[in-house]
Structure 1
Amino acid sequence: MTVGGLVLTATTLIGPSSAAAAGPTTLPASQFTLTSNYHQFDTVLNSLVSTLGTAAVHTVMDNANHDRVGITDSLGLAGYEGGFRFDSGDNGDCTNYPQGVTTSRDAIGTANSGNYDGHQLVVVSWYTKDGCDGGGTRSRVTLVDWDATYPNKYRKVLLVEPTGTAATPNFKDIPIHAGGVSWYGDYLYVAETGRGMRVFDMRKILKTNTGGTAAQIGRQSSGVYYAHNYAYVLPQIGTVTAATTSGTSLVWSTISLDRVSRSIVMTEYTCASGCTAYPNRAPRAVRFPFAAGVTTFASTTTASQALQLPWYKLNGVASHNGRWWFASSGAKQLYYWTPAAGASTYSWVGGAESISYWEDTTNPDLLWSLQETLGHRNVFVVQQASYDG
């Protein structure tokens, strides 16, 4: 079988657990709100665009300079359809970790085979540490061609925050965990653990200079702009900030787009007990609807659904047509739930991260996910029907 230009081999299929899982319980959705600002950086960003110029997505992909390769691990997943892993440098890099996943089908749906600017793309968010055991220093996204029409290539794009003034525009690194990413229309939403989401516009990828040192970022005294030797940067355009009256702030572990209900869903990474870097309490999942007829949030948005979950160490969430999926990296399980049918538990991969729902008009709908595990950074896809209870 061939998907996205890759030849797939059979794997061992693993079905649902015989043990029924406890289900989520409903929380008051009105406790959770968002405040959005899509024009936060307009003045400086317009100057950056004028100074540096933009690169369309198809231009970035025409200059893709890394090779994606086939998955060599036996993932043992029911409904396995294939996928890819990153090149050897990224697969074994202990300073960079893949986290979120979204696709051009999130962005535009099934029209024109889900192509954005002529390309069917899988987008993965990453965070960078200052050493193998260091703290976070910056974040990026990887744009990957998933279309047999094009080479099996990908390109890294640095995420940056505009700084400076209209007269001397600049940008700086965004040192966030980038735990989840969702692409809707032209906008890319990236989860920020303690705040909500940062917003980027895929029409405003900036061209920068290469040839500087790996440490150089932003405008230099010569007027040249470097970005750790990235040729392209994606500047933040705004922020979506979360608030709650529940007394406990949301910890934004990951996000996913629900195209059917036109909303973004999020969930938290928490522990039952014993964690020091994460909360020790039950996690929550919350749905926030977009404004009517657009791919942006209103200036103020109230959640339309909120759940308390019985599962822990969640790095992945997805929702579609009233159904929910939650991936636990700690339990190596995927949980499926609907209010009517209850919950089911499936075996899943280790090092699991985010989930993205892939709609298809002629073939089975799919779930994309990925592993952050060093040496096993597989971005894979399974048939959704194998995980629907």
Structure 2
Amino acid sequence: MSARKRALALATGVLALVATTSAATTNAYAASAPTSLPTSQFTLTSNYHQYDALNSALTTKLGTASVDTVMANANHDRTAISNPGVAGYVDGFGFDSGDNNDCTNYPQGITSSRDAIGTANSGNYDGHQLILVSWYTTAGCGGAQSRSRITLVDWDATYPNDYRKILLVEPTGTAAAPSFKDITVHAGGVSWYGDYLYVADTGHGMRVFNLKDILKTNTGGTADQIGRQSDGTTYYAHNYAYVLPQIGTITAATTSGTPLVWSSISLDRVSGSIVMVEYTCQSGCTAYPNRAPRAIRFPFASGANTFAATTTATQALQLPWYKLNGVASHNGRWWFNSSGNKQLYYWTPATGSHTYAWVSGGESLSYWEDTTNADLLWSLQETQGHRDVFAVQQATYGP
């Protein structure tokens, strides 16, 4: 057992009583609970081969890098944090000072190699136990969204406490002259399942990437250069050394009369599904819908980590809570994070709903299965200057 795993095990045991006691002081039954909606109203259409020809050409031009290679070249140091003010806190980390204080980049989604491959081999993907965080970038402080990226963070004492940024790109051009461009989605949620990375695309559904397809790009040039250059052999990506090209799209449709707002997603490995949630306001919002939000479960094809050509939802809920930036589900249990109310809601049909105190600026949630220690919930904060990524005991927030 690595030093970090021993520390986690010790922390889990020591914090168990403290977490239970602390949670009891903040736990209250919510006044209302989710209600069911017709699942037939919500469908997905998948295309995993949308960019096959372009990606094949890009791979020939640039070559790929494995996750292990990317992490061997990790060039940012993650930092230590203390408890951000939540019951059941186990461990966590921060980004370096540049990322922690950057007014043009904001962390949003979270997933991990435990999502990708489960508990086998301690959740190691390509030899690494990893936390993956999605970010969106703006054109200047407070500007419009201009691109998206992910951060791969080593989470095992076997390796240095490092992380590496990878730019998300959409293939463009032709097979003879392939290129790529920025992806301007909010990247509010991510789910890693097998080799596939699913990224929430607010008004459309999800974009799909493959972690086996990381491309090597040229560094240098100017910060605004992106894609194939005039010499036909140089490919810049805002000085990123690695890019992850989109391979396909998962498109959402509904007959409910109100399109889904894909604010956040997460993986439920037990049922083999992705769950999504909408960020909405009760009233007074101009940039977001003013209505009750929904949470929808979409199953993967049987025994696969891909969706069928057409998928119908297997669970659809209308929620009584608002300003939801995070969702998780596992074994029929649901968690919802409200950044606006600084609360974490827990619900099952059998036990009803509970409300817990949570962090400010809270974003996505990810469930961390563990065969030897307590299961965890991972989350993060987007607040500039206070971007903690942290794990709490799942049992502190619902049985």
- TM-score band, normalised by shorter chain: over 0.9
Choose from 182, 196, 203 the match for 2:191. Answer: 182
How far the C-alpha of 1:300 sits from its partner, in A, is 0.3
Choose from 211, 214, 217 the match for 1:202. Answer: 211
Structure 2 residue 143 is matched with structure 1 residue 134: yes
How far the C-alpha of 1:22 sits from its partner, in A, is 1.2
How far the C-alpha of 1:373 sits from its partner, in A, is 0.4
Distance 1:339 1:268 in 2: 20
Q: Structure 1 length normalisation: TM-score? A: 0.97
Choose from 141, 148, 158 the match for 1:149. Answer: 158
2:307 aligned partner: 297
Residue aligned with 2:213, SS: coil
How far the C-alpha of 1:121 sits from its partner, in A, is 0.2
Checking the alignment, whether the CA contact within 8 Å between 1:337 and 1:343 is kept in structure 2 is: yes
Checking the alignment, whether the CA contact within 8 Å between 2:28 and 2:356 is kept in structure 1 is: no
Checking the alignment, whether the CA contact within 8 Å between 2:43 and 2:311 is kept in structure 1 is: yes
1:49 aligned partner: 59
2:42 aligned partner: 32
2:256 aligned partner: 246
Structure 2 residue 88 is matched with structure 1 residue 82: no
Change (3 A) 1:14 1:75: farther
Choose from 327, 335, 343 the match for 2:353. Answer: 343
Residue aligned with 2:308, SS: coil
Distance 1:354 1:6 in 2: 25
Alignment of 1:13-24 (within 5 A): 13-15=22-24, 16-24=26-34
Structure 2 residue 67 is matched with structure 1 residue 60: no
Change (3 A) 1:376 1:5: farther
Distance 1:85 1:3 in 2: 16
Distance 1:14 1:321 in 2: 21
* 1:270-300 deviation per Cα after TM superposition (whole angstroms, max 9, x unaligned): 0000000000000000000000111000000
How far the C-alpha of 1:6 sits from its partner, in A, is 7.7
How far the C-alpha of 1:82 sits from its partner, in A, is 1.1
1:192 aligned partner: 201
Distance 1:207 1:4 in 2: 32
Q: Which has the larger helix fraction?
A: 2
Report the residue type matching 1:338 in the other structure: T
Sequence identity of aligned pairs in percent? Answer: 74
Report the residue type matching 2:126 in the other structure: D
Distance 2:349 2:247 in 1: 37
Checking the alignment, whether the CA contact within 8 Å between 2:209 and 2:247 is kept in structure 1 is: yes
* 1:140-177 deviation per Cα after TM superposition (whole angstroms, max 9, x unaligned): 00000000100000000000000001100000000110
Further displaced range: 314-323 or 76-85? 76-85
Distance 1:64 1:245 in 2: 45
Structure 2 residue 393 is matched with structure 1 residue 383: yes
How far the C-alpha of 1:78 sits from its partner, in A, is 1.3
Residue aligned with 1:158, SS: strand
Change (3 A) 1:6 1:230: farther
How far the C-alpha of 1:20 sits from its partner, in A, is 3.1
Distance 1:84 1:98 in 2: 13
Report the residue type matching 2:219 in the other structure: T
Distance 2:100 2:324 in 1: 22
Distance 1:192 1:3 in 2: 34
Change (3 A) 1:212 1:126: same
* 1:3-34 deviation per Cα after TM superposition (whole angstroms, max 9, x unaligned): 46989798994443334341100000110000
Change (3 A) 1:225 1:83: same
* 1:187-210 deviation per Cα after TM superposition (whole angstroms, max 9, x unaligned): 000000000000000000000000
Choose from 106, 110, 116 the match for 2:115. Answer: 106
Structure 2 residue 182 is matched with structure 1 residue 173: yes
Choose from 329, 338, 344 the match for 1:328. Answer: 338
Structure 2 unaligned blocks of 5 or more:
none
* 1:119-148 deviation per Cα after TM superposition (whole angstroms, max 9, x unaligned): 000000000000111000000000000001
Choose from 317, 325, 328 the match for 1:318. Answer: 328
Report the residue type matching 2:304 in the other structure: V
What RMSD in Å do the two structures reach over aligned CA positions?
Answer: 1.6
Further displaced range: 16-25 or 201-210? 16-25
Checking the alignment, whether the CA contact within 8 Å between 1:6 and 1:70 is kept in structure 2 is: no
Checking the alignment, whether the CA contact within 8 Å between 1:3 and 1:81 is kept in structure 2 is: no
Q: Structure 2 length normalisation: TM-score? A: 0.95
1:236 aligned partner: 246
Change (3 A) 1:47 1:5: farther
Distance 1:197 1:123 in 2: 17
Checking the alignment, whether the CA contact within 8 Å between 1:5 and 1:147 is kept in structure 2 is: no
Residue aligned with 2:40, SS: helix
Residue aligned with 1:203, SS: helix
